[in-house]
Amino acid sequence: MAVAGIDEARLRKAFLEEAEELCQKLGDSLLALETDRGNTDVVNEVFRLTHSLKSESALMGFTALSELAHRMEDVLGSVREGRLVLEKPVMDGIFAGSDLIAEMMAAISKGGSDADFDTTAILQELFLAAGRGGGSASETAAAPTAGTPAASEMELGEFEKRQLTEARDRGEALYKLTVSVDPAESMKFPRAYLVFFNLELVSNVVKVVPPMKGEPEEDARYATTTLLVTSAGGDEGLRAAAAVDQIAGLRIDRCDYDGYLASARSGSAAWLKAHPERAGMPPGVAAGMPPGVAAGMPPGVAAGAAGGMLQAAAAVEKTTIRVDTRKLDDLWSLIAELVLHKSHIARLSDDLGHGADVHEVREELVESFDSLDKISSGMQQVMMDTRMIPISVIFSKFPRLVRDLSRKLGKPVELILSGEETEIDRSLVEALSDPLTHIIRNSLDHGIEFPEERVRRGKSEKGRVSVSARRQGGNIVIELADDGRGMDSEQIRRKAIEMGISGAAHFNEAQLLELVFLPGFSTKEVVTDLSGRGVGMDVVANRIRGELKGDVVLGTQPGGGTRVTLLFPLTLTIVNALLVRGDSQLYAIPLTDVDSTAKLLATEIRGEEGSEYSSWMDDAIPVFSLGALFGKGRHKTEEYFATVLRHGDSKAFLVVDELIEERDIVIKPVDDLLNTQRLFSGVSVLEDGRLVFILDTSFIRRERV
Amino acid sequence: MGERYVSFSLANGHFCVPVNQVLQILRRENLIEIPKPPPYVEGVINLRGNIIPVVNLRARLEVGRGEKGEHREPDPRKRRVIITRVGSRSYGLDVDEVREIVDIDESGITQDATSLFGARADFIRGIARRDESLYLMLDLPRVFAVGRDMPGTRAGQS
Amino acid sequence: MSATILIADDLSFMRMIQKEILTERGYTIVGEATDGREAVEKFKTLHPDLVLLDITMPNMNGLEAMRKIFALEPKAKVIMCSALGQQNLIVEAIKAGVKDFIVKPFKPERILSAIEKALKVS
């Protein structure tokens, strides 16, 4: 299987012997690690064991096992380098991984294979534990589509030009080498670096593109490397130096010094003459815009100037990210403050030891704590900010999309974008892209009418689609609207009754529009009658409500157009929430969904059981209670504790048994099985092990009863 | 070539699930109750930070019906929760007693759809015979597809 | 004329495979080492034509061992075996003078061609 010429059985036997032993040792080491997490020897041991398991299983072709071991090795690697702390979630992930490896080994030893095991969950868990953002992982970033580097970077600076003139004076010849690494080679930078290193021994390397500084760089960029060197020895020596294994292509061109020595301005013409294949480059790139400048640049400029660059940036972002250095400065100041307070507290503790007044010390402690609180919030904010990128990365695709579609369909459409600078968490970009694209397609396919029909209806010939994004508290709101046909809710009602959806006869408009998100409703047959407007909306709803823990709402006007509103939280994992209690169960409400807390008197509640309401700031809003939602009903007293929830434009009271406190909680996804009523957006576990269900306040719009 | 299964008993019946779908077996004390649990959900288990729903198999498989009077109360000390993994999701099974790991050969499986022990037939992949015992092989993905049952196929109608 | 090679890797399974591949091609394996220290020792006493060094080994990793070997014999021919993701170590190795590197899991042709090339250079 893996290595030709060696007896299969012997190979397997040898592998099993060693791998099982490694596995055993891994289990033992992990147990040791659990009780002594600071022990660097054990950490190194575990790292080495996972590394060895990875190598061996890869050789034997057990890719699932190898990948799992590799991921674990990464996590341990981060721990070794001090970038990751061995807290509970990380340890849990490693244990789970080790268990799974043991199972795989057991299967393999019985003649089975590791391919039967599903590793997606554990890989994801380990990836998250290692502190990498969401999304599936591929360790090696996909190479940007343009294989050759922006060759305009061959423009030389003054120092480099001086090197050239001196070399010319010495009588050396100028060569341009283009080296391509074998595509099958997994480590492109080191290969290129090896060539560079060898060349430096026999020639004078003036410039390398992409640049090499002696530290590992983003690998994929070095698939092809161009070097400008001078040498007195003829190209034999150069060829020998570049004769490194796994180099697929080597091209040596003898060059003219003049082409490179001309000044920047006039040099472009000469340069372009020397490189006719580059003549078609867009102005922004040819001007030699250094790659690092993209960070911190206003989004409009970045998107416009180098269309493909943001895409490339997005593809790169899986392993490295570009960060505005001002954010790093902010972080640095916060850390400085943190250190100050740390010393302060140490001093206080000293003082106590020397008999200082307890009350005075306590006051200072409280002050320090407040500062620490602010500092940690500040740090959290900075970290969040570094994860945030403007939504223009997604929006930038839309103008092209609309133009192509409108051309193809023969419907002139104007696209209006706003709020592109609104920032969203990087991890959401992938999840959002498809649904938004889909909704826009829908608008053009089915929403916007053909120009003749529009004119007949007294509308402008050109259709209009607008996409806007804005922040609302801790949520992002994206609105996509068109001024097309709209949907007829009565027609939806008719369809619903036909499909046997009970109660459809009495649904209000909001409820009818909600039906469009049902899988049954999104089918082609149903949808041709509804002008196809609902196609695929069930998938969109799933993505937004499920993965993004948000909500999507439809608004429409027959003949006037349709608006889709998406709402989802800025960040998924840690949330500042209000903890409340209903009977013996704890619930958390994200603070962004809490308008305020209040006391309700029984006399202030109107209406019948199941549809009660009360007044709040001149509005009558519904009254829900934890008791009714999750228990046996609201038990009657004279006055109630309640919070005023808000979701979008809606508000409602939620009666609780106890308002506990505001705190940060870590959200974990809640399985669908536990969430059949869709009342939860997640679940959390407190330090003492108690379960907390996080409420999804969208129910105040959806549900009555 | 045989496959290995974990067998367990539930209300007088013997069932089994493939070993590679079993993550862990825990004692029932770890079960946490939740308010107004959805149908078939017994509670949850906190497994290393992950909240895993535990399915009430009795209710789900509808065993033990029509056996009133002959019903043998399970020994509470033997009750366990088997944590299984289906695809990328993990669920727990609330069982009366975990028995043993059995090797089941392809040839020993019959696809007979008639239900035994009163269990719902659509959750059973097949019946395996081993030595003198019969094991019902659970179709876990089906068992866990709660809420996605098509209306109209409620118990007793299939 | 068959070149002599020293194999250093802490995993016996790995050493076995490398040995098989190389002996079949006609190279002579003069010794095996299970950690960096042993690799340096055996290099001193056995004077192999080439050393196959794994980066991750206990008791002195491949990089350290390589530096010591180069201190003993600047013209030594060393090929480093590494796993994916050890870029910085490889770059360090290149700076120290390693002739070539192989990424695990490797195909037999790779290791053979790397050794061939390394031995060819005088």
> Does chain B touch chain A (at least 3 C-beta pairs within 8 Å)?
yes
Question: pLDDT higher for A389 or B52?
Answer: B52
Same domain, A596 and A539: no
**Residue B69's pLDDT band (cuts 50, 70, 90):** very low
Q: Percentage of chain A with pLDDT > 90?
A: 11
Please judge whether A245 and C100 are an interchain contact, meaning their C-beta atoms are less than 8 angstroms apart: yes
**Residue A152's pLDDT band (cuts 50, 70, 90):** very low
Q: Is residue A516 domain-resident? A: yes
A524, exposed or middle or buried, with CB in 10 Å at 0-12, 13-18, 19+?
A: exposed
CA distance to partner chain A, nearest, from residue C1 (Å): 23
Packing angle, helices C87-96 and C62-72, rounded to 10: 0
Same domain, A550 and A450: yes
Please judge whether C91 and A55 are an interchain contact, meaning their C-beta atoms are less than 8 angstroms apart: no
**Residue A184's pLDDT band (cuts 50, 70, 90):** confident
Q: What is A232-285 written as a DSSP string?
A: SS-HHHHHHHH--TTEEEEEEEEE-HHHHHS-HHHHHHHHHHH-GGGTT--HHH
Same domain, A399 and A541: yes
Q: Is residue A316 domain-resident? A: no
As for how many domains chain A has, the answer is: 5
DSSP annotation of A536 reads T
Domain boundary among A257, A279, A301: A279
Chain C residues with CB under 8 Å of A48 CB are 10, 56, 58
Q: Is residue A284's pLDDT more than 70?
A: no
Chain A residues with CB under 8 Å of C87 CB are 187, 189-190, 216, 219
Probe site for chain C from A1, A3, A67 (most C CB atoms < 10 A): A3
CA distance A4 to C21: 9
Q: What's the token pair of residue B103? A: 């090797």
Q: Residue A279 has what pLDDT?
A: 41
Q: What is A515-528 written as a DSSP string?
A: HTTSGGGGSHHHHH
Tokens 């015992």 sit on residue: B133
Pick from A549-558, B46-55, C108-117: least confident: B46-55
Same domain, A400 and A510: yes
Instruction: Tell me how crowded residue B45 is: count the other CB atoms within 10 A of its CB.
Output: 22
As for how many domains chain C has, the answer is: 1
Looking at mean pLDDT, say which of A394-408, A661-675, B121-135 comes out highest. A394-408
Please judge whether A668 and B90 are an interchain contact, meaning their C-beta atoms are less than 8 angstroms apart: no
Q: Is residue A337 domain-resident? A: yes
Q: Is residue A73 domain-resident? A: yes
Same domain, A119 and A67: yes
B127 has which bridge partners? B110, B136
**Residue A432's pLDDT band (cuts 50, 70, 90):** confident
Same domain, A178 and A256: yes
Same domain, A369 and A435: no
Maximum CA pair distance of chain C? 37
Pick from A213-227, A291-305, A450-464, B3-17: least confident: A291-305
Q: Is residue B146's pLDDT more than 60?
A: yes
Q: What is the mean pLDDT of residues A298-313?
A: 33
Chain A residues with CB under 8 Å of C24 CB are 5
Same domain, A616 and A471: no
User: Rounded to the nearest 10 degrees, how much is the dihedral formed by the CA atoms of A118, A120, A122, A123?
Assistant: 130
DSSP annotation of B41 reads E
Chain A residues with CB under 8 Å of C94 CB are 190, 193-194, 197
Q: Residue C45 has what pLDDT?
A: 92
Q: Is residue C51 domain-resident? A: yes
Q: Residue A580 has what pLDDT?
A: 95
CA distance to partner chain A, nearest, from residue B70 (Å): 32
Please judge whether A5 and C24 are an interchain contact, meaning their C-beta atoms are less than 8 angstroms apart: yes
**Residue B49's pLDDT band (cuts 50, 70, 90):** low
Q: What is the mean pLDDT of residues A214-224?
A: 73
Question: pLDDT higher for A648 or A567?
Answer: A567
Please judge whether B51 and A88 are an interchain contact, meaning their C-beta atoms are less than 8 angstroms apart: no
Contact in structure between A451 and A461 (CB atoms under 8 Å): yes
Please judge whether A124 and B88 are an interchain contact, meaning their C-beta atoms are less than 8 angstroms apart: yes
Pick from A489-503, A673-687, B141-155: least confident: B141-155
Question: pLDDT higher for C29 or B114?
Answer: C29
Chain C residues with CB under 8 Å of A244 CB are 100, 117
Domain boundary among A536, A569, A602: A569
Q: Percentage of chain A with pLDDT > 70?
A: 82
Please judge whether A190 and C101 are an interchain contact, meaning their C-beta atoms are less than 8 angstroms apart: yes
Interface of A with C in 65-84 (CB under 8 A): 66, 70, 74, 77
Same domain, A432 and A471: yes
Q: Is residue A266's pLDDT more than 50?
A: no
Q: Residue A302 has what pLDDT?
A: 31
3-state SS, residue B24: strand
Q: Residue A9 has what pLDDT?
A: 75
A258: CATH = 3.30.70.1110
Tokens 């380098």 sit on residue: A81
CA distance to partner chain A, nearest, from residue B26 (Å): 15
Q: Is residue A419 domain-resident? A: yes
Q: What is the mean pLDDT of residues A435-447?
A: 87
Chain A residues with CB under 8 Å of B31 CB are none
A23: CATH = 1.20.120.160
Q: Which domains does chain B have, with CATH numbers?
A: 3-144 (2.40.50.180)
Q: What ranges in A388-482 are assigned the alpha helix state H?
A: 392-395, 398-409, 426-442, 451-456
**Residue A467's pLDDT band (cuts 50, 70, 90):** very high
**Chain A residue whose CA is closest to C116:** A245
CA distance A183 to A180: 8
Q: Is residue C117 domain-resident? A: no
A426: CATH = 3.30.565.10
Q: Residue A355 has what pLDDT?
A: 83
Same domain, A440 and A560: yes
Average pLDDT over chain A reads 77
CA distance B18 to B5: 4
**Residue B64's pLDDT band (cuts 50, 70, 90):** low
C25: CATH = 3.40.50.2300
Each residue's pLDDT tens digit in chain C (122 positions)? 588 999 999 888 888 888 988 998 889 999 999 989 999 999 999 999 999 999 888 888 888 899 889 888 888 899 998 876 677 788 888 888 888 888 877 778 888 888 888 888 65
CA distance to partner chain A, nearest, from residue C102 (Å): 9
Same domain, A367 and A407: no
Q: Residue A283 has what pLDDT?
A: 32
Pick from A196-205, A257-266, A267-276, B96-105: least confident: A267-276
Q: Is residue A111's pLDDT more than 70?
A: yes
Probe site for chain A from C34, C104, C116 (most A CB atoms < 10 A): C104
Question: pLDDT higher for A210 or C40?
Answer: C40
Q: Residue C27 has what pLDDT?
A: 92
Indicate the helix (H) or strand (E) that contains C42: helix C36-46
Contact in structure between A252 and A177 (CB atoms under 8 Å): yes
Q: What is the mean pLDDT of residues A19-23?
A: 88
**Residue B157's pLDDT band (cuts 50, 70, 90):** very low
Q: What is the mean pLDDT of residues B87-92?
A: 78
Please judge whether C84 and A70 are an interchain contact, meaning their C-beta atoms are less than 8 angstroms apart: yes
Please judge whether B49 and A674 are an interchain contact, meaning their C-beta atoms are less than 8 angstroms apart: no
A574 has which bridge partners? A666
Q: Is residue A290's pLDDT more than 50?
A: no
Same domain, A378 and A398: no
CA distance B33 to B56: 12
CA distance A244 to C88: 19
Domain boundary among A73, A99, A129: A129
3-state SS, residue A89: helix
Please judge whether B53 and A673 are an interchain contact, meaning their C-beta atoms are less than 8 angstroms apart: yes
ipTM for the whole complex: 0.81
Domain that includes residue A267, residue range: 151-279
Q: What is the mean pLDDT of residues A87-108?
A: 85
Pick from A142-146, A226-230, A253-257, B100-104: least confident: A142-146
- Any C CB within 8 A of A2 CB: yes
Give tens-digit pLDDT for A29-71: 888 888 777 788 888 889 888 988 988 888 788 888 888 998 8
CA distance to partner chain B, nearest, from residue A65 (Å): 14
Question: pLDDT higher for C41 or A230?
Answer: C41
Q: Is residue A455's pLDDT more than 50?
A: yes
Q: Residue B151 has what pLDDT?
A: 29
Question: pLDDT higher for A391 or A124?
Answer: A391
Please judge whether C117 and A186 are an interchain contact, meaning their C-beta atoms are less than 8 angstroms apart: no
Please judge whether C90 and A19 are an interchain contact, meaning their C-beta atoms are less than 8 angstroms apart: no
Q: Is residue A134's pLDDT more than 50?
A: no
Size of interface A-B (CB pairs under 8 A): 77
Q: Is residue C113 domain-resident? A: no
Q: Is residue A332 domain-resident? A: yes
Of B41, B85, B88, the CB nearest to A674: B41
Chains in contact with B, counting 3 or more C-beta pairs less than 8 Å apart as contact: A
Domain that includes residue C92, residue range: 4-106
Chain A residues with CB under 8 Å of B48 CB are 88, 92, 95-96
